[in-house]
C-alpha cells in the first residue's frame, strides 16, 4: 500500500506557505527594495520562474521524491516480509492427504490431533518405525540435526569457530565413537528398527532441503555457506543417550567440589557444606525390611564382567550413605589439572544447559488399594533444562494388529531422533524414569611424563588419538586426545592441539613447561559401550513384571530409578544400569590413578541391584532421594539428593485418601518450600530496619507455598539468595574457590544452613566483605534488609503487591539460533517469558540458580499421569509443543497450559485417536 499525496498545481490560488517566523505571517515585499524586473518571456517560452514558483517546484520535487522513496522502501520491506513469510511457510510439513515414502513395505498412517501429536499406525514393525522417522523429520529435523552434531563434536561445521571448544569436549569423551560401537552390539532386531527409523528420516530429507526442512537452514547458510544435512544413521539416534547421561552425571560435580573446597578452605570447614543424607528424616526408595544386615554378613559377589570376585562392599561406606572414608591424599600439583578439567562443564553447559543437583525428577506409583478405581496410577515428571522445542517428543506407535511380527501398541514420550517410546505405557504396563545419582564415574589424577603415565610402579604408554575438527568459515582445528587405562584425559581438552601433542617432539609428548606432571582422566560407565537401546524396545513391548525387569537388565547408562505398574494391579521399582565395583573409595573424591588402589573391578550384577514389588505401603516414591538404606551392603550412590521432595510427595499421598488422576495432578503442583519451614521462624525473631519490616511481615502466617502470585514467596526467595551470597559465595570467592563450587541453592544447601542455625558463632555467619556482620542473627538481618531493598527496586514499594512469578520467569529459547541468531530470528524462534511458581526442591520443581538470578533454569520437562484402570483417562503435557517449526500453531501451544499446571487428554485406543484427529496423512510406497 503506497502513500497518497496532493501536489500543488502551477496555478494554485492558495497562498504560498508561511515562512518560519515564529508563527507570524511573512512580511510582504519591501517597496524600498531595488528588485530588478523579471525579463520578458520570449514567444513560446514558459514564463521565467519567480522565487515563489521556484519554491513550489522544489516542494513538488521533494514530495514526489519522498513518495517514490517511501514506495521503494515499502516495496522492499514488503518483498522482504513476503520472502520471509514464503520461507517460513515452506518449512511447514504436509500433514494431510497422501505421500509416497520409499522403503515402506505396506501402508502407514500418521494421525495428528489439534496439538500436533502424532499417532502412527502400520501393519509391520518395520513400517511403524520408518513412519516414526518420517514424522519426526517432519516436525523436528533441525533439532535432530543439531543434537547429532553436539554428540559427534561437529557443531563447528554448522556454526563456525565459536563452537570449536564444545567440539573438543565431545570428541575427547568420544560420545559418537561409543555410540557407533554400541550399534554393533545391538540385537539384529533392534538394528533393523534403527535402520527403518533412519530410512524414514532420509526419505523426508530426499524430498526436502533448505527452508523446506526448517526456517533455520537459510539463515545457517550465511555462516556455513553450502551446508547440507547428511543422511541420518542409527548411531545418530543412539548417541543422544550420551548427552543425556552427561546432564544427569552429578557425581562428577560432587568430586570437583569436594576437591576444590577441601584444598581452599580451613581444615574441617568444607565438611559443613556436605551434610549427607539424613535417614532419620527421609525414607529411601527401597526400605530395608530385613533384620540388621551388614556388608560383612553378606557373601562376596562376582562383579560382572570382572575377571575375579570383588569385595563384598567398597571401603568408604555402603549404600551411598556418604561413607566414612576420608578423601585420598593428592599432591598439590594436581589442583591445576583438576581446575582444567572442571572447565569442561562450563563449555558443555553453553549448548546442553547447566548440570546441577536440582536437575533430577519426580515419579511415584500408587497401588489400587489407594485409588478410586482399585487399579494403579503412575506419575512421572523429569526435571531437565528447558529448551524450545522441548527435549521430549510425544508419540503413539500402534501395530494395526499386534502379534509376534508386530508387537507394539505403545504411547508416550521419546527424544527427538530416537525411535520407539522412552517413557509411557502400552496395553499392559506403564513405566517412568528419574535420575538415581549413582556413583558411576571417577576422576583419576594421573602422573604423566612425556608420552607415558605411571601405574603401579610402571610407565605405560598413553593411548593417543588424533582428530580434525572442520570449521565453517575457518580453518580446520587439530585435536589430540590422550587416554590412560582409566579413560580420556579431560584436563587436556581446552588446551591447544600443539600444547597437548607437542611441537618438535614425539607424538603425544607435551612441550617443556606445558604440564606440571599431572592430568585428570575420567572413567565413566557411559563411555563403556552397552546395548542400552535394546532395553527401550523391550520396554515398549513388555507385558508384565518379568518382561519389565528383563528389559531393565539391558539398560546400562545413565543409571536411573524405574517405576512400574500394570493392568493386573502390580506396582514395582527397579534400579537398572551399571554400578561400578571399586577396590576402594566411594565416588565422592578424585583419586590417585597411579596406585591402582581405586580401580574398578567390574559392575554390580543386576540381581544385586535394588528392586521392590508391591510394597506394603501401597506406593513407591522416587525424587532423587536415597535408593537404599545404610544397611544395604553395596555402594550404589555416594551423594544422594535430599529427601525434601520425596517426603512431601509421600505426605500428600498419605493425606489424600483415595486418589484419582486429578488428585495425582494436584500433587505435581505442590509448591511447598521445606527450606522456608525451617528458616522462617529464625527470620521472624530478628529485628530489622523499617524498610525491611513490612517485607518481614509477609512471612508471618505464610503457609510456605510458592505460587506465582505469592508475595511471601518472592521475599523469602530473595532473602535466600542474599543469604547464600553473604554467608557462602563471598567467602568461597575470597578463598579462591571457583564458581562451580558456589551454592546452587538446592536441597543440599537447605541442609547446610539448617545445620548451621544451631551454631550461631560459626565462621560461615561472618561476612567476608564486611566483618561488622558477625554471627547468625546479624547475617540473617543483613540478608533480609538487602532482599527488601532489592525487591523495592524491582517490584515497587508495596510489598503485598510483590509476586514471585514476576521474578521467577521461564523464557523457553531455541538453543541454537534463538540465542545467537539475528534479532528478528530470535524473536521468531523464542517464546515470551511466563511467570511460574514452585522452586528448587519443591515438588513443582521450577529450579533457579541464586548465582544467576531468579529465572528458571530447569523444569518438569513433561508431566504424565497414567490410569491403569482406563488409559483414556490418562493425561500428559509437554513443555512447549509437538512441532519444531516456529510458525506452526503447535510450536508453543502447550507452554501456557503447562505453566498453569494443566494437561491434555491422552487418547490411546483407535476410536479415541480418531475422535481427536485433526490431520491424517497416508504414507504409501
How far, in whole angstroms, is CA 337 from its chain's centroid?
Answer: 27
Return phi, psi of residue 243, to 5°.
-70, -35
- Residue 478's DSSP bridge partners are 468
**Sequence-distant (≥ 6) Cβ neighbours of residue 918 within 8 angstroms:** 112, 113, 114
Q: What is the dihedral of CA 63, 64, 69, 73, to 10 degrees?
A: 90
Whether residue 811 contacts residue 830, with contact meaning beta carbons closer than 8 Å, is answered with yes
- Provide the 3-class DSSP secondary structure of residue 52: helix
The candidate with the shortest Cα–Cα distance to 378, out of 299, 434, 321, 317, is 434
- Residue 113's DSSP bridge partners are 917
Whether residue 635 contacts residue 317, with contact meaning beta carbons closer than 8 Å, is answered with yes
Give me the residues of the chain with pLDDT under 50, please: 1-63, 65-67, 69-77, 80-81, 291-324, 497-515
Strands 591-592 and 441-449, bridge-based pairing: parallel
How far, in whole angstroms, is CA 280 from its chain's centroid?
Answer: 32
**Sequence-distant (≥ 6) Cβ neighbours of residue 473 within 8 angstroms:** 160, 161, 223, 224, 225
Which helix (DSSP H) or strand (DSSP E) does residue 58 occupy?
helix 51-90
Instruction: Output the pLDDT for position 725.
Output: 96
Whether residue 560 contacts residue 435, with contact meaning beta carbons closer than 8 Å, is answered with yes
d(CA 701, CA 710): 13
Instruction: Output the pLDDT for position 9.
Output: 36
d(CA 685, CA 693): 12
Helices (runs of H) and strands (runs of E) counted in the chain: 26, 32
Q: How many CA atoms lie within 13 A of 424 on its CB side?
A: 30
Task: Please report where in the chains the cell 561413607 appears, as a residue.
Answer: 323
CA distances to 382, 387, 860 from 845, rounded to whole Å, are 10, 16, 6
Amino acid at each position: 500500500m503506497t502513500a497518497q499525496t496532493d501536489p500543488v498545481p502551477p496555478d494554485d490560488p492558495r497562498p504560498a506557505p508561511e515562512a518560519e517566523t515564529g508563527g507570524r505571517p511573512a512580511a510582504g515585499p519591501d517597496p524600498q527594495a531595488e528588485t530588478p524586473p523579471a525579463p520578458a518571456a520570449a514567444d513560446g517560452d514558459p514564463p521565467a520562474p519567480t522565487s515563489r514558483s521556484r519554491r513550489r517546484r522544489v516542494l513538488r520535487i521533494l514530495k514526489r521524491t519522498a513518495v517514490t522513496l517511501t514506495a521503494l522502501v515499502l516495496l522492499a520491506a514488503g518483498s522482504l516480509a513476503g520472502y520471509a513469510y514464503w520461507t517460513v511457510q515452506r518449512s511447514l510439513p504436509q500433514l494431510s492427504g497422501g505421500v509416497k515414502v520409499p522403503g515402506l513395505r505396506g501402508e502407514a498412517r500418521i494421525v495428528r490431533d489439534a496439538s500436533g501429536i502424532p499417532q502412527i499406525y502400520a501393519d509391520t514393525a518395520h513400517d511403524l518405525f520408518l513412519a516414526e522417522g518420517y514424522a519426526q523429520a517432519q516436525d523436528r529435523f533441525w533439532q535432530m540435526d543439531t543434537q547429532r552434531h553436539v554428540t559427534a563434536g561437529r557443531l563447528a561445521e554448522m556454526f563456525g569457530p565459536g563452537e570449536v571448544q564444545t567440539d573438543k569436549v565431545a570428541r575427547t569423551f568420544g560420545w559418537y565413537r561409543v555410540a557407533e560401537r554400541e550399534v554393533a552390539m545391538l540385537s539384529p532386531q533392534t538394528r533393523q528398527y534403527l535402520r527403518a527409523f533412519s530410512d524414514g528420516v532420509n526419505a523426508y530429507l530426499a524430498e526436502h532441503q533448505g527452508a523446506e526442512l526448517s526456517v533455520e537452514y537459510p539463515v545457517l547458510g550465511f555462516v556455513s555457506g553450502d551446508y547440507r544435512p547428511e543422511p541420518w544413521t542409527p548411531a545418530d539416534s543412539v548417541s543422544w543417550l550420551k548427552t543425556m547421561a552427561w546432564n544427569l552425571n552429578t557425581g562428577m560435580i560432587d568430586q570437583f567440589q569436594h576437591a576444590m573446597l577441601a584444598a581452599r578452605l580451613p581444615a574441617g570447614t568444607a565438611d559443613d557444606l556436605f551434610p549427607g543424607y539424613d535417614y532419620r528424616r527421609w525414607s529411601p526408595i527401597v526400605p530395608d525390611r530385613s533384620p540388621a544386615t551388614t556388608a560383612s554378613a553378606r557373601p562376596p559377589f562376582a562383579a560382572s564382567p570382572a575377571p575375579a570376585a570383588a569385595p563384598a562392599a567398597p571401603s568408604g561406606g555402603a549404600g551411598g550413605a556418604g561413607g566414612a572414608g576420608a578423601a585420598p591424599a593428592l599432591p598439590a600439583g594436581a589442583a591445576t589439572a583438576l581446575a582444567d578439567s572442571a572447565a569442561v562443564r562450563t563449555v558443555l553447559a553453553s549448548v546442553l544447559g547447566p548440570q546441577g543437583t536440582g536437575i533430577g525428577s519426580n515419579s511415584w506409583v500408587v497401588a489400587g488399594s489407594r485409588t478410586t478405581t482399585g487399579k494403579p496410577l503412575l506419575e512421572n515428571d523429569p526435571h531437565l533444562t528447558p529448551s524450545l522445542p522441548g527435549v521430549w517428543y510425544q508419540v503413539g506407535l500402534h501395530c494395526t494388529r499386534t502379534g509376534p511380527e508386530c508387537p507394539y501398541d505403545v504411547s508416550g514420550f521419546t527424544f527427538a531422533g530416537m525411535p520407539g517410546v522412552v517413557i509411557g505405557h502400552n496395553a499392559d504396563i506403564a513405566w517412568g524414569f528419574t535420575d538415581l545419582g549413582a556413583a558411576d564415574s571417577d576422576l583419576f589424577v594421573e602422573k604423566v611424563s612425556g608420552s607415558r603415565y605411571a601405574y603401579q610402579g610402571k610407565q605405560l604408554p598413553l593411548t593417543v588419538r588424533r582428530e580434525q575438527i572442520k570449521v565453517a568459515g575457518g580453518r580446520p582445528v587439530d585435536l589430540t586426545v590422550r587416554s590412560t587405562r582409566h579413560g580420556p584425559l579431560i584436563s587436556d581438552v581446552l588446551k591447544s592441539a600443539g600444547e597437548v601433542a607437542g611441537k618438535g617432539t614425539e607424538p603425544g609428548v607435551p612441550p617443556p613447561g606445558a604440564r606440571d606432571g599431572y592430568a585428570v582422566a575420567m572413567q565413566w560407565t557411559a563411555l563403556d559401550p552397552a546395548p542400552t537401546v535394546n532395553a527401550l524396545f523391550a520396554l515398549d513391548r513388555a507385558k508384565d513384571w518379568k518382561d519389565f525387569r528383563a528389559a531393565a537388565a539391558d539398560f546400562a547408562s545413565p543409571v536411573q530409578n524405574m517405576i512400574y505398574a500394570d493392568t493386573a494391579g502390580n506396582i514395582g521399582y527397579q534400579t537398572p544400569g551399571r554400578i561400578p565395583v571399586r577396590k576402594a573409595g566411594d565416588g565422592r573424591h578424585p583419586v590417585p590413578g597411579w596406585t591402582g588402589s581405586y580401580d574398578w573391578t567390574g559392575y554390580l550384577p543386576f540381581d544385586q541391584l535394588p528392586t521392590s514389588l508391591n510394597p506394603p505401603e501401597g506406593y513407591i516414591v522416587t525424587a532423587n532421594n536415597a535408593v537404599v538404606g545404610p544397611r544395604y551392603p553395596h555402594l550404589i550412590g555416594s551423594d544422594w539428593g535430599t529427601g525434601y521432595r520425596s517426603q512431601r510427595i509421600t505426605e500428600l499421598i498419605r493425606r489424600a485418601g483415595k486418589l484419582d488422576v486429578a488428585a495425582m495432578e494436584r500433587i505435581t503442583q505442590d509448591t511447598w518450600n521445606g527450606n522456608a519451614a525451617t528458616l522462617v521462624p529464625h527470620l521472624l525473631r530478628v529485628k530489622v530496619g523499617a524498610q525491611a519490616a513490612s517485607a518481614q511481615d509477609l512471612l508471618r502466617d505464610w503457609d510456605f507455598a510458592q505460587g506465582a502470585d505469592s508475595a511471601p514467596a518472592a521475599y523469602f526467595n530473595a532473602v535466600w539468595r542474599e543469604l547464600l551470597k553473604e554467608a557462602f559465595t563471598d567467602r568461597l570467592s575470597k578463598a579462591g574457590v571457583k564458581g562451580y563450587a558456589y551454592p546452587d541453592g538446592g536441597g543440599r544447601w537447605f541442609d547446610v544452613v539448617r545445620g548451621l542455625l544451631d551454631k550461631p558463632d560459626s565462621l560461615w555467619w561472618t561476612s567476608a566483605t564486611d566483618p561488622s556482620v558477625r554471627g547468625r542473627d546479624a547475617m540473617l538481618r543483613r540478608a533480609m534488609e538487602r532482599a527488601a531493598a532489592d525487591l523495592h527496586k524491582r517490584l515497587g514499594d508495596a510489598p503485598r503487591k510483590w509476586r514471585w512469578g514476576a521474578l521467577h520467569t521461564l523464557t523457553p529459547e531455541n538453543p541454537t539460533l534463538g540465542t545467537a541468531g539475528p534479532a528478528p530470528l530470535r524473536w521468531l524462534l523464542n517464546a515470551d517469558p511466563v511467570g511460574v511458581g514452585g522452586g528448587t526442591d519443591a515438588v513443582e520443581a521450577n529450579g533457579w540458580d541464586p548465582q544467576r538470578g531468579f529465572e528458571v533454569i530447569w523444569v518438569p520437562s513433561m508431566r504424565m499421569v497414567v490410569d491403569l484402570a482406563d488409559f483414556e483417562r490418562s493425561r500428559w503435557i509437554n513443555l512447549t509443543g509437538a512441532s519444531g517449526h516456529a510458525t506452526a500453531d503447535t510450536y508453543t501451544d502447550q507452554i501456557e497450559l503447562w505453566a498453569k499446571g494443566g494437561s491434555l487428554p491422552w487418547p490411546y485406543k483407535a476410536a479415541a485417536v480418531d475422535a481427536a484427529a485433526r490431520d491424517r496423512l497416508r504414507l504409501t510406497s
